Structure 1
Amino acid sequence: MNLIIIIIVAAICQYFGPWWTAALIPFITLAWQPTATSFKAFATGFVAIAILWFGYGLYLHTSSEGAMSNRIAQIFSLPNGFLLLAVTTLVGGLVGGFAGLSGHLARKIW
């Protein structure tokens, strides 16, 4: 349930706000609704934001036929846009995972 809440609310917030709402939403969600373990909290935040960023990145890649992502990949000396998409998904997932873990641990403190 937390996974779906994070994906939907983060998608709405990131559409209207800055990228760092990808950290704010898992933190608030997992501080509000507890999970069983710290690993599950990290995994929930990681998977939710990784799915969101991969989906939106894939949409942008396919809508521009790879032109935009391939040019950005060249800036970072990556071979193609798909590797850029993988790196972006990993970075977004780590942001969401650590934010979810932080929310879980903050709830334990309270």
Structure 2
Amino acid sequence: MRQIIAIAVLSLLVQLVFPWWSLAVVSFAICCWRSPGAGRAFVYGFVGVGIVWLLYALMIQLRTDGVFVGRMSELLFKTNGGVLPVLVTTLVSGLVGGLAGVAGFFVRQASGNQIANRIS
């Protein structure tokens, strides 16, 4: 739970200054530093980043009274609903965060194996 909150807060703050893909760096670093397994690393990254982008999308939806998201839905999906772009945004960002988290876990695991091989 701490990792999810850390990923969410740090990715929110980092994206204020850096590009959108900086969320992957945050998820990678936190899951590399502290993650018990590959499955949990994916879930931590997916949920942490997904929550942030879900809130971003809902904020845009509410600020524009659904006009912007509705137009994007018509442009991309040929529908007039505002739900589909919000769900796709959340899913794609969650996948980016989750895969970055798994990559961070595997990098830590591989570097740990390298250190163990040098010692023995």
TM over 0.5: yes
Give the deviation of 1:77 after TM superposition: 2.4
The alignment yields a C-alpha RMSD, in angstroms, of 0.9
User: How far apart in 2 are the matches of 1:85 and 1:60?
Assistant: 10
Aligned equivalent of 2:50: 50
Q: How does 1:89-104 map to 2 (within 5 A)?
A: 89-104=90-105
Q: How does 1:75-86 map to 2 (within 5 A)?
A: 75-79=75-79, 80-86=81-87
Aligned equivalent of 1:74: 74
User: How far apart in 1 are the matches of 2:39 and 2:78?
Assistant: 31
Give the deviation of 1:31 after TM superposition: 0.8
In structure 2, runs of 5+ residues without a counterpart are 112-120
User: How far apart in 1 are the matches of 2:45 and 2:78?
Assistant: 27
User: How far apart in 1 are the matches of 2:95 and 2:86?
Assistant: 14
Cα distance per residue 1:35-88 (max 9 Å; x no partner): 222100000000111111001110110111001111111110242221100011
- TM superposition outliers: structure 1 runs of 4+ over 6 Å: none
Amino acid at match of 1:49: V
Q: Say whether the 8 Å CA contact 1:66–1:81 is kept in structure 2.
A: yes
Name which structure has the greater RCO, CA cutoff 8 Å, separation 6+: 1
Query: Higher mean Cα deviation, 72-81 or 86-95?
Result: 72-81
Give the deviation of 1:106 after TM superposition: 0.4
User: How far apart in 2 are the matches of 1:47 and 1:84?
Assistant: 18
SS of residue matched to 2:36 = coil
**Identity score, percent:** 33
Structure 1 or 2, whichever has the larger Rg, is 2
